[in-house]
Structure 1
């Protein structure tokens, strides 16, 4: 491409063209990164009925974030878009900024946790809500008609929720922006929260001063892994770090970053989720990143890489690629 055409197109448009070209021709048997077209962020990864699902934030201006799309795949390579599985028109209290889904299945129902309105104080309406559907692709409907969490507790903005089921069947929600993370115990029907064994309802488990947002928890070999995002979400320094603890409440001591920008591949890599394929103990990290040369904060795309542990259970640094992962069918 000539320099004249590059100047005419501009960085953002050129990045989108380069990204689309890369998406159109991944190596044989690989997904390619980004894994599907469009501006999406904050991907939630889930496996339902031998199918991979990704539920991302629609990465547009806050006023245009009025619904969620979902994507499904039998093998991590071939993805099907399911448009508008949860729409703002079906959430009476939501006005803008639908963010960061967390989706789980329980007793044949699918529960879709989300943040809305980007509230800046307890005087505003918004926070974390929950919707329900009979199928992974919806349509989802508001479960309780109001936010599940609608205020700042321990100075944590009520956004970026993740739902974790422990081995004893207890469901916890870990959430929080503005550099603070809380854990709460969900009621069995997900209509609210209830006190934990020590009487605490909103327990702060912020793992490190570097914590910003995007918490995630999973359990492996009896240990609780807590992952989160650091840096600024619009900048190149956005990244993922983690800690390991002996309970969902921690304490968690930061081990270090495992995903960050690669100036030859992409920048702003963060807000992750994971796939765990139990049949062969395969792990994948799902995250968003910015195309090289693109300075528009909302131009984020979803990518998948392998996630590998060493013999001590530490997560090895993630190698960011444009090739993506090889096919891994679940059936």
Structure 2
């Protein structure tokens, strides 16, 4: 299979040096994995162009007592202490959350407030099967509506989950972080605020003159952390330009891949926002190194019926730039 033929959303690639194999994780799609159910599947490749048919590595239906069976969004796999840990976002519409009282924007933003958050599952293999560590609740505080949790390990070796706090609950979505236990089995302490979506200065440039800046929604999606050679901390994240809220809690607008930099190198920032790297309804990207040492970015485009797109990247100090689009690998489009 090649990327133009591979349904995928929120791609995450693990370049496994031991087997010289790229593992591309995405939400399970029964039409290509051949397995029904909410979960995670993985494609594999030795050259980033030719991929195996995917295999399912995590299914919610196989997790005894799990709190939610919908979603399966934004899966990613991290090696930690000799094992592999899957992070993926689940939700349950049957478990409503308290919502703030109606305000300036009325009720449309309160319709979808229900339990949503990232779970952590573990396996001894990149190919699973992965077993959820705590089936009773998401890892971030369960009263918060969150998504897209990712692993970050600070210079002292302390693991964190960085996640997006949903605009559905906050109107101005935020990025937050919470410490994890050494075995990733739970959290320690309270969440830490990192930045809010409207901190992206260029979003205000999309609003017509005379319209208040605080227009909902401001979305935070897909945080991914990367330590640069100069010691800065870089975060890829996604949002929407020219947002239009719908009555069902959905939004329309241009999905974009952007990034922020903490020049202090600290997770708490301060975070400096940068202009988008890729527009054209693209986003939820992550960085990885190819086996020949190139810094690469994978993202999906378009948001609906998504396919993977690959870019060769360059770091100039803390600044991230695109060197070239790898249409030879992702088939163009």
After superposition, what is the alpha-carbon deviation per residue over 1:60-104, rounded to whole angstroms, capped at 9, x for unaligned? Answer: 9xxx86121112222322322342110121232222111111211
Q: Distance in 2 between matches of 1:315 and 1:218?
A: 11
Aligned residue in 1 for 2:61: 89
Q: CA deviation at 1:163?
A: 0.8
What secondary structure is seen at the aligned counterpart in 2 of 1:89?
A: helix
Q: Distance in 1 between matches of 2:254 and 2:326?
A: 17
Q: Distance in 2 between matches of 1:139 and 1:82?
A: 14
Picking from 268, 271, 276, the partner of 1:252 is 271
Picking from 219, 228, 235, the partner of 1:226 is 235
Question: In the alignment, is the contact (CA less than 8 A) between 1:65 and 1:98 conserved in 2?
Answer: no
Name whichever structure is richer in strand by fraction: 2
Q: Distance in 1 between matches of 2:49 and 2:179?
A: 35
Q: CA deviation at 1:107?
A: 2.5
Q: Distance in 2 between matches of 1:127 and 1:307?
A: 30
Runs of 5+ consecutive residues of structure 2 not aligned to the other structure: 31-35, 99-113, 168-172, 201-218, 244-249
Aligned residue in 2 for 1:30: none
What secondary structure is seen at the aligned counterpart in 1 of 2:61?
A: helix
Question: In the alignment, is the contact (CA less than 8 A) between 1:46 and 1:103 conserved in 2?
Answer: yes
Aligned residue in 2 for 1:129: 119
Aligned residue in 1 for 2:139: 148
Q: Distance in 1 between matches of 2:142 and 2:307?
A: 30
CA 1:52–1:236 in structure 2 vs 1: closer, same or farther (change >3 Å)? Answer: farther
Q: Which stretch shifts more, 51-60 or 223-232?
A: 51-60
Aligned residue in 1 for 2:40: 68
Aligned residue in 1 for 2:26: 56
Aligned residue in 2 for 1:7: none
In the alignment, structure 1 residue 239 sits paired with structure 2 residue 256: yes
CA 1:223–1:207 in structure 2 vs 1: closer, same or farther (change >3 Å)? Answer: farther
Q: Distance in 1 between matches of 2:147 and 2:270?
A: 22
Q: CA deviation at 1:205?
A: 0.7
Q: CA deviation at 1:325?
A: 7.0
Question: In the alignment, is the contact (CA less than 8 A) between 1:68 and 1:87 conserved in 2?
Answer: yes
Counting matched residue pairs gives 269
After superposition, what is the alpha-carbon deviation per residue over 1:88-124, rounded to whole angstroms, capped at 9, x for unaligned? Answer: 2123222211111121112321111111016685364
What secondary structure is seen at the aligned counterpart in 2 of 1:86?
A: strand
Aligned residue in 2 for 1:40: 8
CA 1:192–1:259 in structure 2 vs 1: closer, same or farther (change >3 Å)? Answer: same
Question: In the alignment, is the contact (CA less than 8 A) between 2:181 and 2:188 conserved in 1?
Answer: yes
Q: Distance in 2 between matches of 1:133 and 1:216?
A: 22
Q: CA deviation at 1:303?
A: 1.8
Q: Distance in 2 between matches of 1:76 and 1:234?
A: 32
Aligned residue in 1 for 2:74: 100
Q: Which stretch shifts more, 120-129 or 219-228?
A: 120-129
What secondary structure is seen at the aligned counterpart in 2 of 1:151?
A: coil
Q: Distance in 1 between matches of 2:4 and 2:28?
A: 13
In the alignment, structure 1 residue 188 sits paired with structure 2 residue 182: yes
Q: Which stretch shifts more, 297-306 or 242-251?
A: 297-306
TM-score (normalizing by structure 1) = 0.72
Q: Distance in 1 between matches of 2:115 and 2:252?
A: 28
Q: CA deviation at 1:244?
A: 1.0
Picking from 181, 192, 214, the partner of 1:203 is 192
Q: CA RMSD in A?
A: 2.8
Aligned residue in 2 for 1:306: 312
CA 1:97–1:322 in structure 2 vs 1: closer, same or farther (change >3 Å)? Answer: same
Question: In the alignment, is the contact (CA less than 8 A) between 1:228 and 1:271 conserved in 2?
Answer: yes
Question: In the alignment, is the contact (CA less than 8 A) between 1:121 and 1:151 conserved in 2?
Answer: no
Aligned residue in 2 for 1:273: 286
Query: Greater relative contact order (Cα 8 A, min sep 6): structure 1 or 2?
Result: 1
